[in-house]
């Protein structure tokens, strides 16, 4: 194997750069201090290479496993040149001559390399025996000096080996000092680790205690919530009953209030006269006929929302359902879903946020009745407030500029105009605009002043409008379409 005569730059663990000769690099490879697959800088070619890729230059230790190292992107500054090119040429000739002599004495040099390699490997094991290492190194240096005396006329290169060994001694001292510092740091870190482990054990015990207490509280809260649900259901029955009666007649509301007050008082005073309770129950029965008549009137003035299980929600990345409309209102009431929760019905093509669904946000009239011993809730929306699906060409004028789209929902309160795109100049919440819907689905053209309320850049893209003022003729045109749509739905059902 040829000895590389040029110099190399290596990256030390402390991120410093240091120049080494080819012999020194080979020694670092033999001792394992330099990985054959790590990069070193070749001064002659000014490039980063791996020793394993430099065939014929370095001897790679047997059994070395290939590792991946990042190739440096910077270029070290060039080494200062202290000799002329002619001196370099003479030096190279001398080095080649010495290389030939060294090849003749390869057995001797190999013996020195093996001895030096053993010394370099042993320095990790004798950190606390520094004096003995120095004694052995001095003995080895004396042996090498005796050999150099025999080869003094033919081997000048051995003097360079002495210098390399001296440098190695300095490196050994430096490494020993670094290792001492690392051992002190490790001892300090070990102490901190023990303290942190003890603190972690204490916190883990506290956490387990808190967790057990929290679990007990959660179980208790579940019990209280279940009890509260029952109470809320009972309370909702009477509250809805009172609300419906208030809308029908003040006198009936007064009677219901008296009835509820009597029932509450009788429940709080269970030991009072049972005859009074029976009288109140009888009075309640006498009102059932009146309630049935008013329910028929309610159905005539309003549109009943389908309460079958055809609602779906998207929660925590999962689609859940189907739910009835009553289930959806309960989920809203207890905060399980909010206006941003994606919802859809089984027949809908797209998901939409709950806050944009008319049925989930409309003012509802609630009616409860007992069917087969089970309380059943029915929900109604005033026909005047119902926003019916619609599909007709529409033109909205904003700041004197017309935008064409389609009206996809319509009520006496407002409409939604779906557009191909929503431009920034159109987004002026609260601004007054003009809306025109051509006759077709409607009995006649509809032109009205509107207020820009909501804007959606997601699908469906468009603007939510609120009618500022409608005369009786315009309102009748819209209500006529809504009533016709609801009648068709009722017939289909």
pLDDT in tens, 141-157: 888 888 888 888 877 87
Q: Which residue has the higher pLDDT, 100 or 317?
A: 317
Rounded to whole angstroms, the Cα distance separating 474 from 411 reads 11
pLDDT for position 36: 92
Can you tell me whether residue 49 is helix, strand or coil? strand
Of the segments 238-252, 277-291, 318-332, 416-430, which one has the largest average pLDDT value?
A: 318-332
Pull the structure tokens for residue 312: 């779906």
- pLDDT bracket for residue 328 (50, 70, 90): very high
Rounded to whole angstroms, the Cα distance separating 405 from 393 reads 6
**Range scoring the smallest mean pLDDT among 28-42, 282-296, 343-357:** 282-296
State yes or no: pLDDT of 122 exceeds 80. no
CATH no. for 388-492 = 2.40.10.220
State yes or no: pLDDT of 1 exceeds 80. no
**Residues 412 and 402: beta-carbon distance below 8 Å:** no
Is the peptide bond between 460 and the residue preceding it cis, with omega within 30 degrees of 0?
A: yes
Task: Report pTM.
Answer: 0.31
pLDDT for position 290: 46
Please state the rounded mean pLDDT for residues 152-167. 84
pLDDT for position 293: 46
3-class secondary structure per residue, 363-420: CEEEEEEEECCEEEEEEEEECCCCCEEEEEEEEEEECCEEEEEEEEEECCCEEEEECC
Q: How far is CA 211 from the centre of its chain?
A: 26
Q: Give tens-digit pLDDT for 189-207.
A: 888 889 888 888 888 888 8
Consecutive H or E run containing 21: strand 17-21
State yes or no: pLDDT of 343 exceeds 90. yes
Q: Give tens-digit pLDDT for 277-327.
A: 565 565 455 544 444 444 444 444 566 788 889 999 999 889 999 999 999
State yes or no: pLDDT of 268 exceeds 70. no
Alpha helices in 269-383 (DSSP H): 274-301, 325-333, 358-361
pLDDT for position 279: 56
**Range scoring the smallest mean pLDDT among 142-151, 162-171, 279-288, 401-410:** 279-288
**Range scoring the smallest mean pLDDT among 324-333, 336-345, 364-373:** 364-373
**Range scoring the smallest mean pLDDT among 105-114, 205-214, 283-292, 362-371:** 283-292
Establish how many alpha carbons lie within 13 A of residue 474's alpha carbon, considering only the half-sphere containing its beta carbon. Answer: 19
Please state the rounded mean pLDDT for residues 252-262. 65
- pLDDT bracket for residue 37 (50, 70, 90): very high
Residues 6+ apart with CB under 8 A from 407: 390, 391, 392, 393, 394, 415, 416, 417, 418, 437
pLDDT for position 265: 64
Of the segments 79-88, 121-130, 210-219, 410-419, which one has the largest average pLDDT value?
A: 410-419
Q: How high does pLDDT run on average in the chain?
A: 79
pLDDT for position 218: 82
Q: Report, in angstroms and rounded to the nearest whole number, the Rg of the chain calculated over CA atoms.
A: 46
**Range scoring the smallest mean pLDDT among 71-80, 181-190, 381-390, 408-417:** 381-390
Q: How far is CA 206 from the centre of its chain?
A: 29
Pull the structure tokens for residue 3: 């000895």
Of the segments 12-16, 287-291, 303-307, 407-411, which one has the largest average pLDDT value?
A: 407-411
State yes or no: pLDDT of 338 exceeds 90. yes
Distances in Å between the alpha carbon of 103 and those of 2, 54, 88, 330, 351? 8, 20, 22, 93, 83
Pull the structure tokens for residue 391: 């599909």
**Range scoring the smallest mean pLDDT among 17-21, 336-340, 378-382:** 378-382
- pLDDT bracket for residue 232 (50, 70, 90): confident
Please state the rounded mean pLDDT for residues 112-126. 74
Rounded to whole angstroms, the Cα distance separating 275 from 278 reads 5
State yes or no: pLDDT of 475 exceeds 70. yes
pLDDT for position 83: 46
Q: Which residue has the higher pLDDT, 334 or 381?
A: 334
State yes or no: pLDDT of 348 exceeds 50. yes
Please state the rounded mean pLDDT for residues 363-379. 79
Of the segments 25-39, 141-155, 205-219, which one has the largest average pLDDT value?
A: 25-39
Burial of 281 (0-12, 13-18, 19+ CB in 10 A): exposed
CB atoms within 10 A of CB 417: 24
**Residues 344 and 352: beta-carbon distance below 8 Å:** yes
**Residues 256 and 250: beta-carbon distance below 8 Å:** no
Where do the domains of the chain lie?
7-178, 220-302, 311-381, 388-492
Q: Which residue has the higher pLDDT, 243 or 467?
A: 467
């Amino acid at each position: 194997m040829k000895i590389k005569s040029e110099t190399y730059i290596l990256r030390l663990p402390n991120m410093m750069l240091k120049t080494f000769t080819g012999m020194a690099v080979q020694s670092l490879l033999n001792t394992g201090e330099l990985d054959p697959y790590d990069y070193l800088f070749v001064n002659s070619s000014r490039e980063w290479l791996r020793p394993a890729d430099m065939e014929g230059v370095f001897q790679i230790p047997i059994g070395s496993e290939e590792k991946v190292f990042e190739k440096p992107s910077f270029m070290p500054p060039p080494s200062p040149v202290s000799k002329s090119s002619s001196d370099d040429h003479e030096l190279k000739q001398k080095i080649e001559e010495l290389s030939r002599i060294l090849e003749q004495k390869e057995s001797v040099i190999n013996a020195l390399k093996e001895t030096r390699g053993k010394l370099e490997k042993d320095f990790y094991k004798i950190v606390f025996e520094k004096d003995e290492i120095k004694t052995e190194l001095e003995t080895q240096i004396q042996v090498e000096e005796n050999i150099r005396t025999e080869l003094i006329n033919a081997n000048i290169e051995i003097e360079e080996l002495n210098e390399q060994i001296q440098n190695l001694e300095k490196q050994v001292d430096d490494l020993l000092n670094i290792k001492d510092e690392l051992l002190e740091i490790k001892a300090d870190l070990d102490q901190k680790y023990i303290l942190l482990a003890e603190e972690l054990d204490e916190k883990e015990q506290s956490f387990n205690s808190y967790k057990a207490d929290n679990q007990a509280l959660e179980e208790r809260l579940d019990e209280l919530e279940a009890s509260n649900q029952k109470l809320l259901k009972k309370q909702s029955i009477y509250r809805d009953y009172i609300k419906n009666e208030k809308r029908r007649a003040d006198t009936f509301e007064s009677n219901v209030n008296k009835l509820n007050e009597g029932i509450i008082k009788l429940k709080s005073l269970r030991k009072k006269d049972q005859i009074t309770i029976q009288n109140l129950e009888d009075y309640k029965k006498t009102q059932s006929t009146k309630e049935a008549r008013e329910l028929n009137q309610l159905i005539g003035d309003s549109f009943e929302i389908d309460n079958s299980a055809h609602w779906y929600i998207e929660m925590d990345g999962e689609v859940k359902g189907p739910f009835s409309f009553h289930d959806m209102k309960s989920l809203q009431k207890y905060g399980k879903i909010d206006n941003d929760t994606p919802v859809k019905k089984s027949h809908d093509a797209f998901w939409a946020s709950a806050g944009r669904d008319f049925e989930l946000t409309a003012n509802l009239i609630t009616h409860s009745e007992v069917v087969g011993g089970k309380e059943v809730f029915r929900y109604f929306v005033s026909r005047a407030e119902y926003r019916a699906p619609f599909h007709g060409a529409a033109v909205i004028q904003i700041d004197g500029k017309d935008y064409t789209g389609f009206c996809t929902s319509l009520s006496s309160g407002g409409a939604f105009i779906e557009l191909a795109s929503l431009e920034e100049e159109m987004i002026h919440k609260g601004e007054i605009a003009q809306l025109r819907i051509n006759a077709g689905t409607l009995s006649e053209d509809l032109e009205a002043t509107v207020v820009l309320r909501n804007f959606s850049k997601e699908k469906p893209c468009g603007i939510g409008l609120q009618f500022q003022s409608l005369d009786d003729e315009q309102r009748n045109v819209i209500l006529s379409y809504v009533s016709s749509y609801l009648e068709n739905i009722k017939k289909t059902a």
